[in-house]
Chain A
Amino acid sequence: EVQLVQSGAEVKKPGESLKISCKGSGYSFTSYWIGWVRQMPGKGLEWMGIIYPGDSDTRYSPSFQGQVTISADKSISTAYLQWSSLKASDTAMYYCARLGGYVPNWFDPWGQGTLVTVSS
């Protein structure tokens, strides 16, 4: 079974750094793009960026370029999303998802989500 398991909920203060993770299993981790999606409280889905773990090729949404860093460690089949200085506006649920398709264009499956709360 293809599965993505994300790290647990985080509570941080503004200005702190954070790195959350997404571990893949049940498939060749290096052969599929992994994407990150933000969902702010009560809002819709926003694509943040994608990474190809095979060669660490990373692409960002213009809205998130420079705001976050996406990385991967293929030796442990894990992708990461990190912030160097959190803001209250980063409070959201963050999902990772595998990209599928001959032309990789749909997200499936999804991780269970990591809730990030940033509050002083």
Chain B
Amino acid sequence: QSALTQPASMSGSPGRSITISCTGASSDVGAYNYVSWYQQHPGKAPKLMIYAVSNRPSGVSNRFSGSKSGNTASLTISGLQVEDEGDYYCSSYTSSNTWVFGGGTKLTVL
């Protein structure tokens, strides 16, 4: 299985919005509504930000939202804040009953 495709890096200004894409295939992203997004700060474990395409776990800011169209999922962060800087990874369940992660996107807020 191939890793999901994400932009390697993105940047945005405080207060603006940004959308990170995650492109897979009809055997993973396109097949299931089991796309998750994780935020990771340096030296820390990943943190679940979005599950099942568009659901936020308790405690995650409503500035984070998710969506999916076809084989591409997206994470939108509105009202960017400095603390949103970090690496973001998407993940999807696959038709092989396994999981696959994206290559990660390094978000810079400047």
Q: Do A and B bind each other?
A: no
